[in-house]
Structure 1
Amino acid sequence: MDGTIPHREDWKIGVDIGGTFMDFCALEVNSGRLATLKVLTTPDDPGAELTTGLSLLEERDQLLPETVSRFVHGTTVGINTVLQRKGAKLAMITNAGFEDVLELARLRMPDMYSLFCHRAEPLISRDHIFGVTARLNAQGEETTALDARSVAQAIQKALSAGAEGIIVSFLHSWRNDTHERQVKDMISEMAPSIFAFTSSEVWPVIREYERGCTAILNGYVHPRVAGYLDALETRLASKNIPAKALLTKSNGGVMSAGDGRENCVSMLLSGSASGVTGAAWLARQAGEDRILTLDIGGTSADIALIIDGAANFGTGEMIGDFPLYIPSVSVSSIAIGGGSI
C-alpha cells in the first residue's frame, strides 16, 4: 500500500425531456469528461426513457450510479399538457356574480384587427364555475360572511360534473385568504378524492383574473406533473442514484421534486427556461450581446430574446393560448409538430 487515496468519480447529470427526445449530459467533475446522449421518449409513459438513458451511460461511459452527486432535470411535461389540452378536468369556486371571470378575461382579443379572431376556450368551461356567497372588500375586510351551505352545494355540483380538482379563487384573497382556506378545508372534508388549490397559495397577486388563471394552470397540469415526478424519483432510486432530483424552474432556478408536485406552475417553462439560460451563457462567451433564440422540439417551439448577455424576465408569458402570471424567463411558446397534433 502506498497510502494514496483511491480516485472516486463524481458525476453531475443534467437531463432534459421534451415531447420527442430525452437528452442527457453527464460531467465527471474530477476528469472533466463529458458524456452526452439522446434517446426517444415514450409519450404514453413520460420519463420511462430515463432508465434506458442511465443504463446506456453506465455501459458506454462507465458511469457509476452511486457516484452521482447532482441530478438536475428540465421537463416540458407541464407545458405540453397545456398545449395538447390533456390536463385535469377542473371546476372553479368563486364569488357569486363573478362566474364569468374567465370568459371576460381582460376583454382583449388576440388579433384586434381580424374580423374572424376569437379567444381560446378557457381550461374550465363556464358550466363548471360555481359562485358562492362570500365577499371581502379591497382592504381584505369581510363584508359578506362565507355561506357554508352554498359552498357545500358548489362542491357537490363539481363532483357531479366529474371534476378531478377544484380551483378556489375569490376577490381580494391576495390580502386576506381566510375564505379561500375555509373552502379548501370543506373540499378536503366533503371530497377527499379530489385535489384543490387556492389562488392565494399559488400566486397571491392583486387582480382576480391573473391570480385565478395562474391557479388554474397549476391545477390543470398537477396530476400529470405529480405522477411524472413520482415515477422520476422511483426510477432514480431503482438505479441507486443517491442525488435528490432538482427541477429547473420557469425563472431559471431549481427546486426539489417535492415542491414541484404542489407548485407545478413554477416549472411550466422548466425546459424552455433552461435552454434560454444556457443560450445566455453561450452568448456571453461568444461576446454577443443581442441574441434571438429558437428552440424547436417535437411538440413546441420556444422563442426568447437575450440582451447584454442576459435573459429577459417578466410576467404574462404566453403558454399556448394562456398567460402565466409568475416571474419567469421571457419565452413565448407555440404548439408545433407531431407531438401537438
Structure 2
Amino acid sequence: MDGGIATDAARNGADWKVGVDIGGTFIDFCALEANSGRVASLKVLTTPEDPGAELMTGLTLLAEREGFDPTHTTRFVHGTTVGINTIIQRKGAPLALFTNAGFEDVIELARLRMPDMYSLFCSRPDPLISRDMIFGIPARMRADGSESQAPDMAAVKSAVAAAKANGAQGIIVAFLHAWRNAAQEASVKAAIAGLAPDFFVFTSAEVWPVIREYERSSTAILNGYVHPRVSGYLTALEERLNGRGVPARPMLTKSNGGLMNAAEGKRACVNMLLSGTASGVIGASWLARQAGEDKVLTLDIGGTSADFALIIG
C-alpha cells in the first residue's frame, strides 16, 4: 500500500528521499530530491526524555528552508541510538527471567571471562536482571530436542506471582536446548499470557535460536530490556509521520546495516541496538570506496557514546 502511495507522490513531481538519525543530543536530517539531485540537511536538538519529539520540527524547517514537501516523500530511512542508549543509561524495563531449575546463575556466570584477566580490581557490569528476579522452573529438554521433564506449571504460576510482586514488567523465558526444540518455552509463554496478560514475554528461541545458553539468554534479555522504550518510540514515530502526511513507511537500519520495517523493529528490538552506529559505518564505507581507500578507521562521537569501526576491504 505504502509503495503505491509513494509512487503516486513521485509521479506528482517531487521525489524526496529522507534519512534521519536520532541520537541522544541531536537529530540529523538529510533529504534528497531525486529528480533534481538537490540535497538538504539540518541538525535539531533532541529531548532525551522523548527521543524523536523534534522530528516534526526538523521536517517543518526542511519545508520552510528547502521547499521539502512531506507528502512527496517516497522513502524514509531512520537510524536511532534509542536502544543502545537505553542499555548504557540502564533505563530499560524491569524484567524477570524464567530458566531451568538449577541454572539460575547462567547470567551471572556467563563465560567466566573478565574484561581484564590480569587485573585484581576488574569487574563485570551488573546483570540487567538481578538474581532475585530469576526463577528456576523444573523442566528439562535433552540436547537432541526430546523432552525429559515437562515444565512444572505450578512453579510457573508461583514465579509469575513473585515477578509481579517484585515489579517486573516483562518476562524472558530461556530454557536449555530451546534452539533445538522451542516447545517448552512456547508452552510456558502461553501459560504466562493466561496468568498475566499485562506482561510482555519473549522466549530465547524466538529472539536468537542458537546453541549456547548464555548467549541465547542474554540476547533475549537485551531484547526485552529495551522493548517498551523502543516499541513506544517507534509507535510515536509512525503517528508523527502519519500526522505530517508522509506516505512512505519508516524503514529502520539494523545493527548489520540492513533494513527492517517498524513492525519488525517493535518485536526484534535487539536487531536495532546499533542502528545509528551501523548507519554511520555504512556511509563511511561508501565514502571510503569513492575515495579509493580500503583500510579505514571511523569515529562517531555522540552525546551518550563514542563508536569506533574498522573497515577493511
TM-score range, shorter-chain basis? Answer: over 0.9
Structure 1 stretches of at least 4 aligned residues deviating more than 6 Å after TM superposition: none
1:151 positional shift: 1.0
CA distance in 1, matches of 2:76, 2:190: 36
CA distance in 2, matches of 1:226, 1:255: 14
Could you report, residue by residue, the CA deviation over 1:18-61 in whole angstroms, capped at 9, with x for unpaired residues? 00000000000000000001000011211111000000011111
One-letter amino acid matched to 1:225: V
One-letter amino acid matched to 2:83: G
Length-normalised TM-score, structure 2? 0.96
- 1:168 aligned onto 2:173: yes
CA distance in 1, matches of 2:107, 2:138: 19
**Which aligned pairs between 1:1-341 and structure 2 lie closer than 5 A?**
8-308=13-313
CA distance in 1, matches of 2:264, 2:72: 25
CA distance in 2, matches of 1:22, 1:306: 25
1:157 positional shift: 1.0
What is the aligned partner in structure 2 of residue 312 from structure 1? Answer: none
* SS class of match (1:196): strand
Could you report, residue by residue, the CA deviation over 1:100-121 in whole angstroms, capped at 9, with x for unpaired residues? 0011000001110111011110
CA distance in 2, matches of 1:106, 1:278: 34
One-letter amino acid matched to 2:235: D
CA distance in 2, matches of 1:186, 1:157: 15
One-letter amino acid matched to 2:184: H
1:159 positional shift: 0.7
CA distance in 1, matches of 2:52, 2:12: 32
- Cα distance change of structure 1 residues 59 and 224 upon mapping to structure 2, 3 Å threshold: same
1:7 positional shift: 6.6
One-letter amino acid matched to 1:189: G
* SS class of match (2:75): strand
CA distance in 1, matches of 2:160, 2:182: 19
* SS class of match (1:278): helix
One-letter amino acid matched to 1:20: T
CA distance in 2, matches of 1:192, 1:142: 27
CA distance in 1, matches of 2:24, 2:217: 28
CA distance in 2, matches of 1:227, 1:59: 29
Length-normalised TM-score, structure 1? 0.88
Could you report, residue by residue, the CA deviation over 1:77-125 in whole angstroms, capped at 9, with x for unpaired residues? 0000000000000000000000000110000011101110111100000
Q: Taking every aligned residue pair, what percent have the same amino acid on both sides?
A: 68
* SS class of match (2:61): helix
One-letter amino acid matched to 1:87: G
What do you get for the CA RMSD once the two structures are aligned?
Answer: 0.8
How many residue pairs end up in the alignment? 303
Could you report, residue by residue, the CA deviation over 1:205-252 in whole angstroms, capped at 9, with x for unpaired residues? 100000000000000000000010011001001100000010000110
CA distance in 1, matches of 2:121, 2:137: 35
Structure 2 stretches lacking a partner, 5+ long:
1-10
Structure 1 stretches lacking a partner, 5+ long:
1-5, 309-341
One-letter amino acid matched to 2:114: M
One-letter amino acid matched to 2:252: L
CA distance in 2, matches of 1:289, 1:242: 38
